[in-house]
Structure 1
Amino acid sequence: MSILRTLIIGSMLVLLGSCGSQQKAVQPAGEPIIETEFRQLDTMFVSASREPEPENFTLPTYRASHTRTHDLMHTILDLQFDWEAEQVLGIATLTLSPYFYPSDEVTLDAKGFEFEYIRLKGSNRNLEYGYDGRQVRINLGKTYKKGESYTLEIKYVATPAASGGSSAITSDKGLFFIDPRDEDPDKPTQIWTQGETEHNSRWFPTIDKPNERTTQEMYVTVEDRYEVLSNGVLESVEEEAGMKTWHWVMDQPHAPYLFMLAIGEFAVVEDTWEGKPVTYYVEPEYEADAEAIFAHTKEMLSFFSDKLGVKYPWQKYAQVVVRDYVSGAMENTTAVIFGDFVQRHKRELIDDGNDRIVAHELFHHWFGDLVTTESWSNLTMNEGFANYSEYLWFEHKYGRDYADHHLLGEWSGYLSSARGNLHPLIHFGYEDKEDMFDAHSYNKGGAVLHMLRNYVGDDAFFAALNLYLTENAYTAVEAHNLRLAFEEVTGEDLNWFFNQWYFEQGHPDLSVTYDFNEATGQANVTVEQIQNPEIMPAIFQLPAAIDIYKANGEKVRHEVMVNERTQTFTFELEEAPALMQFDADRVLLAEMQDNKSSAQYLFQYKNAPLFLDRYEAVLELRGEQSPEAQQVMTAALEDPFWAIRVAAMQNLSPETAANAGAMLSQMGSEDPHSEVRAMAFSMLAELEDASAVSFAQQAIQQDSAYSVIGAALQYLTVLDPEAALEIADDLEQHSSSDILLAVGELYASTGDAKYLPFFKKNLTEVSGFSAIYFVDACVELAVNSDLETSKTVAGHLNTLALGESISPWIKFGATRGLNEMRKAFEQAEQKEQQAYAETLLERLKTIKASEKNPQLISFYNQMLSDIKP
């Protein structure tokens, strides 16, 4: 029960008491006491009471869905570009009709425009309008009724400019010109768009709201060396005087934020699925890798179509990779844009492919594009489904262990986020719509769907999704549409589930204890909900399974419903159980203290069937020095799932690890999963076990995965640095981040400044976490050299940290590197170095003050907390 509802009920009880009832109004535990003064009133005389203190009552923030006054039915855009001025030169032809009420004016979103004219199509008379720089309010010259359409023709110049962003979408510029002259001459020239949330109205006038829908056409004129991709089907390409005009037609309605453009010198790899075009747009260097970059796309199209019972509903499916993208990827209808982090060669994709993000964006074409959130408050109706598609795909393609390993990461991401930012999944009170792109809308949304699937069963779950999609196709939806579909299929009132998971905030925090009374033959499982009732429900209603195991491994399942703050479930048993397992299906989104003994975890690893059972046992037994616990760790080195083999390696006791050298060497050369092979070499390096030198050299020469080659080189750096240096000359020509990082750490360990040109050449080539550690190695080498060398390196890092089009990983690594250099020089004995630390301090102040990426700003505030403006 929410605090609000509790207070209302408490007040009602007090009022009932004042009407003469002898019942006492009892305020629920944990709530503020409502004091009420009762008086026996004399009919002849009533004394005056004090006026109550005035209070400022305000309604809570409510971010409503956009009120539709006009229906945008069709959009035609005729576009050219001024590349130098970074402007869009456009003519927009928009067909609209009043939504219900008669109207003689319409308001369009158009941010940063200059209008040459606005008129009704076919007329030479300009319409009157008012413009505030963000919206244009147009007087139509007459009143139109519902069902009467009119067509506007708007000639304009748009100058897309950013005014903000979020950690998920770092810029709201809408349309981006990528110009290699800016910083990197090797960067391709491109134009691409990012419309979500309401950023497409920076390059064409529209009603830029998620509950709007329109069909579209685009005529795009560019130099003939460029490919142009947009939504829908390519109708024609006309060439004239070194220019091409591309005509793309989208005849199915979709939301304006899903309009897209990508223009560049792409290699286009073409395929088909059930007669529909499937195309991959990549940089020419990656043409041979395109199908590996977007691996399993066609298989996913079939799997999701079959699973949902709704065939992929659009005319084509295209995927394009662009430079300097401001988000991970975007599900623009029929044409998904990806950041260039997905663009890797086949060997770099071994055991680390793009399945997750490819599945996510593809599933949006049902959940987000076909049915679309009616407001950003309901964003999880898009993103929660897309996140859950990742689980569905992994389960189908790689098995449940793989899917549950992924789910564990999703839970972790949400729970970590919830510690500092708790709000309902359907969040009407957000401060900024960009804030909705968080671990609630994504991670929690997917986890809630997983619980719902477990509760109703697979058949009902997918039947309800089919009903939801077919009943709501081409419309805007909210959570209640989903609830009604599930209630129609199951026949059950599911308000309790949707209220607590979608409209309340938080998650249960459970303490679970187990005991067995030999005298009575009774086993007890006690579940206590210990979450803070002041910020989330005191009681969650949790359907759960309890498995009770006999010593021989046989189990009996009991289905229970947790619906009390503290609740004990009792079972009659013929013998003492070897293990009792609450939430045996491992589906609850909850923090849980599962109070089991080491012996029970030992039994759990050997007998409970799921990945999370085995993984939990390995983690809970880490640090245990008993022979039994280490026996589990050794057994886990041969677990069928690779992540448990990795976890077991990381948690071996020193003694067990020392005795497992031969096994680790074998795993480094023979394990089927590259991450296990790489971890084996890392563990051998940590143990300083020299027995695997020949295995490492063999891996460097023969292993197909760059990650393993990098780990093997790092092993040689520790055990045989001379051999490592002999090999490094050949390896430094690779573009793999794993290999470049390993070579960089090797060169840093020599302390020889002659290797600094290698770092300067590759500082912008290393991606992800590797970029941070690569900068660390560079800084280590510089600081151990002379001051002038350090200044040269610092200058280069400063340029990267301030670069507008530099990867956030590299920017963060460069800033962190400068900060580490500052700290080192502050503690140095030489006055020149101490003085240079002051220079670095001023540079860091400038970097911190000029950064615009919200996520980097947050990181910098933590990392540079000792630096005041």
Structure 2
Amino acid sequence: MQQLSLTGLLAALLLVVSCSTTRPAVATTPTPAETSDPTITETRNLDTLTVSPATNGEITEEEMEGTAPEEVPTTLPPRAIAFNRVHDLLHTKLEVSFDWEQEMVIGKATLRLKPIFRPSDELTLDAKNFTFRSITNGDGTPLEYAYDDDRQQVTIQLDRAYTRGQEYTVVLDYTATPAEGGGAGQAITSDKGLFFINPRGEEGDKPRQIWTQGETENNSRWFPTIDKPNERTTQELYVTVDDSYKTLSNGILVSSEPAGEGKRTDYWKMDLPHAPYLFALVVGEFEIVEDEPWNGIPVNYYMEPKFAPYATSVFPYTPEMLTFFSELTGVQYPWPKYSQVAVRDYVSGAMENTTAVIFGEFMNGTDRDLIDVDINEKIVAHEMFHHWFGDLVTCESWSQLTLNEGFANYSEYLWMEKQHGKDAADYHLLEEWQGYFSSVQNGAPHELIWYDVPDKEAMFDAHSYNKGGAVLHMLRHYVGDEAFFNSLQHYLERHKFSAVEIDELRMAFEDTTGEDLSWFFDQWFLRAGHPRLRITTDYADGSVSLTVQQIQSTDDNVPAVFKIPVSVDVYTNGTAERHDITIEQREQTFTFPADTDPDVVIFDPHHQLLAEYDYQKTGQELAAQYRYAPAFFDRYEAVGLIGRMEGVPELEDEILTAALQDTFYAIRGVAVQSLVDPTPVQLERVRNIARQDDRSQVRAAALDVLAQVGDEELAPIAREAMQARAYSVVAAGLQALVATDPDAATEAAGQLEDIDNPDISGALAQLYSESGDLSKLPFFEERLEGSDGYSAINLYTAYQSLLAQGQSADQTAGVSRLKEIALDQSQSPWRRLAATKAISDLRTTLSEQIEQLGEAGDLNKLILEMGTSLEAIKAAETNTDLQNIYEQF
């Protein structure tokens, strides 16, 4: 599953080159305190660190005196273990149809099982919100059963006791109503399992669809099963639908037969075993776009008709990835087809259902929408890699989820490295680190293998995903590429079609390398946290000294000392000498010979270590770092930090000027955003970027800078941008045109209103909110529920800004719309956040108006209503990230 974590995305957005009217700050470090000494701190989120350097986080003897004795526990700690299997589910045959009006599944399930070891005359199945018409054995003999409403399970008395190896069949005739139960989690915003979209045709032009979301244990809301990740079964599915609909499920479509009354029955068959949570079903009006078969297997895309011409842009590089991951792992893609579909109102980012991947509608777009948008290919890679790590080899319990999600997360790095180069891959890794570091600022760290997890849904966080992928990157660096990928091949081949735990991954690496790797797996998988390092360097008497202090708190099962094998590059006269060290103490000093005071010392030049650094560097050192150190991280950090320094204007001009022509777009973007008063040379380079950079986001950022500095050549550059293919550049051109030719901008805006693109909508929204043209309120209202991501924040902010200039009736109606969105837990978390923030901001603005204008009865009443609405929104919100953010409203 690809989660779209709000915390992670908010963190990542600080790093992404933006085309908005405001220029986001570089996120690698906090802004340094002003100092007369022109040094700057290299750090990753150490601004909240409170450990005293005098004690390095250790408790002193004085603090120990008088401490109350620790309470001795009297019970075992909670431990989430793998499901205790009694029966082996061998095969599942489903026959389903639907009552759209009542949102009901009408089904018949034929299950073939056998006891795993001990004899059994009783079978318990997960079946949430089911009504059974009958339960029989294979020959039709009725079986006694009892349904437990609390546990949402049915217990069946078999016709006799079966022993190990003896197969038996049960047949369940049932109806299920998924919509009647369920809740929400962080990554999966609803656990109904099966969803009817616009089932009664009441939502205008929205298409009618049915789709499923089984993870974690929610497929048992539409068919009875043993709904655990360590179960595995083959599958047949007969689904009867109106003939106008297409269906998609796991495996191969064997047949489609008329079923009378304008209906059709499709028969899907998956003859390789997989976990029940990976079963999928999609029903809707799709156009099926066939790609070239890959090694003889079908590859296709289920598209809403208007996006069918852009299928290979929506789901980019699919055949290439199948080849790449097969070759990389040494294990051929093992499944009988590969299908992808984007559905409406999806409750997560995407889901790796075996051979039938489901994505949210955010993936859809035209070629112009998707220029320079790499999120699509990352998510395609993520879900595809799950077909090895998650589908072929599956975590045995949700506590081991990183064995699925950590690998899928890391596939994004692997693909970016292969397709776009190491700079692009490392930029992605930096975003992943930032998402993880942000998450632990807002909550306690926990182990990757989280045995005392309070709820299985809590596993879907920046630990299982971001940290899991980062730890695999470290492991790859430590053992080397050949050993890493050979170990993965060994792991996959040994454990294919089975469930695994972390020790089996460790042993695969130990078998391959011959090395005991328990130290690595213990500290990174079974302990919490990461190193926080304070690094200092000095030069004296022909030696460079490097002192590393581990200053991480030891709360929450975080090691006091991490074992850290790492390299150090000492640059002298532009040339690096590499030294390999291993840090194994809380504080440790290393010395390296050097003929002269070095230009700069680079700690971890491979930039593979998941750690936060407090490492002070002078402007001269940062300049040397940009000039000589080749890695993306070093160049990106140097450009971002030197642009904030005081007292080094010559170095700042030199590095920013050079960085405007860097080979990697994100560094050019940071250089553009760092400019405050560009020199003539810099200004000319920014103009060239605005005209012709090969990355649209950087062009947009350059247009923004030219508008902010009032460049005399902006008008023709803005008009040229309005003709660009990338909508992000067109939007930035429109915003720039507002500053140079407002009448032309207004005329151009009217021609852009029909374009359904978040960048265009954002630019128009800003223009209309600043103009105060209340006739444009319907423009906003038509787009409120279609916007998502950070663009929703901009759109809703502009909407409330225009509302603030309107009449009381407009404001009351607008707040009502915003409240409805904010309260609806099926809405995107971004939309809920945007709506809540808009209400809060509007309340603040109207309160200020009252202070200026005096008593205003209607406004007072509306302000009070908004306060009540905000409290209701906070009480209804289920997303922890949003709950934390809402504390400021």
Calculate the TM-score normalised by the size of structure 2. 0.89
**55-64 vs 219-228, which moves further:** 55-64
Query: Which runs of no fewer than 5 residues in structure 2 stay unpaired?
Result: 1-56
Distance 1:814 1:183, change over 3 A: farther
> Are 1:584 and 2:602 an aligned pair?
no
Q: 1:788 aligns with which of 799, 809, 816?
A: 809
Change (3 A) 1:574 1:804: closer
SS of residue paired to 1:276: coil
Q: Does 1:448 find its partner at 2:471?
A: yes
Q: Is the 8 A contact 1:98 1:146 kept in 2?
A: yes
SS at match of 2:782: helix
Q: Distance in 2 between matches of 1:427 and 1:89?
A: 38
Task: Give the Cα–Cα distance (whole angstroms) in 2 for the partners of residues 259 and 56 of structure 1.
Answer: 42
Kept in 1, the 8 Å contact 2:122–2:156? The answer is: yes
Deviating more after overlay: 791-800 vs 636-645 = 791-800
Bigger Rg, which one: 1
Q: What is the letter of the counterpart of residue 521 of structure 2? A: F
Q: Is contact 2:657-2:681 (8 Å) kept?
A: no
- Equivalent position SS for 1:800: helix
What number of residue pairs does the alignment pair up? Answer: 816
2:523 to 491, 500, 510: 500
**How far, CA to CA, are the matches of 2:70 and 2:639 in structure 1?**
60
What is the letter of the counterpart of residue 361 of structure 2?
D
- The DSSP-based 3-state class of the residue aligned with 1:612 is helix
Q: Give the Cα separation in 2 of the matches to 1:198 and 1:295.
A: 30
Counterpart position of 2:868:
842
Cross-structure match for 1:758 = 779
Tell me which amino acid in the other structure corresponds to 2:408.
A
Decide which of 675, 687, 694 is 2:697's aligned counterpart: 675
Summarize the Cα distance change of 1:533–1:704 in structure 2 as closer, same or farther, 3 Å threshold: same
Residue 3 (structure 2) aligns with? none
Of 432, 435, 439, which aligns to 1:410? 432
Moved over 6 A (4+): 31-36
Q: Does 1:769 align with 2:790?
A: yes
Q: 1:291 to 1:815 in 2, by over 3 A?
A: same
Shift of 1:852: 4.4
**Partner SS state of residue 849, structure 1:** helix
Q: Give the SS at the match of 2:766.
A: helix
- Letter paired with 2:514: G
Residue pair 2:550, 2:561 contacting (<8 A) in 1 also: yes
Contact 1:514 1:596 in 2 (8 A): no
1:164 paired to 2:186: no
Candidates 395, 401, 421, aligned match of 2:444: 421
The residue type equivalent to 1:418 in the other structure is V
Decide which of 196, 203, 207 is 1:188's aligned counterpart: 207
Alignment of 1:448-527 (within 5 A): 448-517=471-540, 519=541, 521-527=542-548
- Structure 1 residue 844: deviation in Å? 3.1
Q: Which amino acid counterpart does residue 104 of structure 2 have in structure 1?
A: Q
The 1-side partners of 2:591 and 2:302 are apart by 60
Q: Pick closer, same or farther for the CA change 1:53–1:30 going to 2, 3 Å.
A: closer
What letter matches 1:770 in structure 2?
Answer: S
The whole-number CA distance in structure 1 between the counterparts of 2:353 and 2:787 is 29
The 8 Å contact of residues 711 and 742 in structure 1, kept in 2 or not, is answered as: yes
Q: Which residue of 1 aligns with 2:217?
A: 198
SS of corresponding position for 2:172: strand
Matched, 1:559 2:576: no
2:96 aligned partner: 79
Pair 1:729-2:746 in alignment:
no
Q: 2:125 aligns with which of 108, 113, 119?
A: 108
Match 2:114 to one of 80, 92, 97: 97
Residue aligning to 1:17: none
The Cα of 1:162 is off from its aligned counterpart by 3.7
In the aligned structure 2, how far is the partner of 1:803 from the partner of 1:122? 47
Tell me the amino acid that sits aligned with residue 848 of structure 1.
K
Distance 1:357 1:446, change over 3 A: same
The answer on whether the counterparts of 1:130 and 1:136 sit within 8 Å (CA) in structure 2 is yes
SS in 2 for 1:468: helix
Residue 29 (structure 1) shift: 6.6
Which residue of structure 2 aligns with residue 698 of structure 1?
Answer: 720
Q: Which structure 2 residues correspond to residues 524-535 of structure 1 after superposition, within 5 A?
A: 524-535=545-556
**1:253 match:** 273
Preserved contact between residue 413 and residue 443 of structure 1 (Cα < 8 Å):
yes
Seen in structure 2, the aligned counterparts of structure 1 residues 663 and 180 have a Cα distance that, compared at 3 Å, is farther
Q: Which amino acid aligns with 2:96?
A: L
The 2-side partners of 1:435 and 1:57 are apart by 26
8 Å contact 1:511–1:595 — kept in the other structure?
no
Kindly tell me: are residues 758 and 497 of structure 1, through their superposed partners in 2, closer, same or farther at Cα, counting changes over 3 Å? same
Q: CA deviation at 1:655?
A: 2.8
Q: Distance in 1 between matches of 2:73 and 2:526?
A: 26
Displacement of 1:771 in angstroms is 1.6
**TM value normalised by structure 1:** 0.91
Q: Which one is further off, 527-536 or 250-259?
A: 527-536
CA distance in 2, matches of 1:863, 1:169: 25
C-alpha separation between the residues in 1 aligned to 2:396 and 2:62? 40
Instruction: Answer whether contact 1:162 1:171 (CA < 8 A) is retained.
Output: no
Q: Contact 1:670–1:677 (CA<8 Å) still a contact in 2?
A: yes
1:119 aligns with 2:136: yes
After TM superposition, list the pairs within 5 Å mapping 1:263-342 onto structure 2.
263-271=283-291, 272-342=293-363
Identity between Structure 1 and Structure 2 (%): 49
Partner of 2:159: 141
1:283 is displaced (CA, Å) by 0.6
Give the aligned residue type for 1:833. L
**What does residue 44 of structure 1 align with?**
none
Rate the CA distance shift 1:106–1:657 in 2: closer, same or farther, 3 A. farther
Contact 2:619/2:651, CA 8 A, preserved across alignment: no
Of 372, 377, 380, the match for 1:355 = 377
Q: In terms of mean alpha carbon deviation, does 242-251 or 779-788 score higher?
A: 779-788
Moved more, 387-396 or 554-563: 554-563
Alignment of 1:595-744 (within 5 A): 595-624=616-645, 625-652=648-675, 654-656=676-678, 660-701=682-723, 703-744=724-765
Residue 764 of structure 1 deviates from its aligned partner by 2.6
Distance 1:850 1:137, change over 3 A: same
Counterpart-to-counterpart distance in 1, 2:382 and 2:679: 39
1:658 deviates by: 7.0
The alignment partner of 1:412 has SS state of helix
1:236 counterpart residue number = 255
Q: How far apart, in 2, do the equivalents of 1:54 and 1:356 lie? A: 48
Residues 128-168 of structure 1: CA distance to partner in whole angstroms, max 9, x if unpaired? 43433511111113110000000000001111134222121
**What is residue 749 of structure 1 aligned with on the other side?**
770
Output the amino acid matched with 1:825.
L
Gaps of 5+ in 1: 1-27, 37-51, 865-869
3-state SS in 2 of match to 1:295: coil
The CA distance in 2 between the partners of 1:488 and 1:174, in whole Å, is 40
**Could you report, residue by residue, the CA deviation over 1:673-722 in whole angstroms, capped at 9, with x for unpaired residues?**
11110100111222232421111111102x11101111111112233222
8 Å CA contact 1:165, 1:854 repeated in 2:
no
Provide the residue aligned with 1:15 in structure 2. Answer: none
1:60 aligns with 2:73: no
Q: 1:30 touches 1:533 (CA, 8 Å); kept in 2? A: no
Is the 2:672–2:702 Cα contact (8 Å) retained in structure 1? yes
Give the conservation status (yes or no) of the 8 Å contact 1:196–1:258.
yes
Q: CA 1:423/1:657 → structure 2, altered by over 3 Å: closer, same or farther?
A: farther
1:853/1:509 CA distance change after superposition, 3 Å? closer
For 1:318 and 1:33, the matched residues in 2 are separated by: 65
1: CA distance, partners of 2:71 / 2:393: 47
**SS at 2:331's partner residue?**
coil
* Alignment-mate amino acid for residue 141 of structure 1: D
Residue 421 of structure 1 aligns to a residue whose secondary structure is coil
Measure how far apart 1:512 and its partner are. 1.4
Cα distance in 1 for residues equivalent to 2:239 and 2:880: 33
Name the CA shift for 1:189/1:35 in 2 (closer, same or farther; >3 Å). Answer: closer
| Backbone CA RMSD of aligned residues | 2.0
SS of the residue corresponding to residue 208 of structure 1 reads: coil
2:560 counterpart letter in structure 1:
A
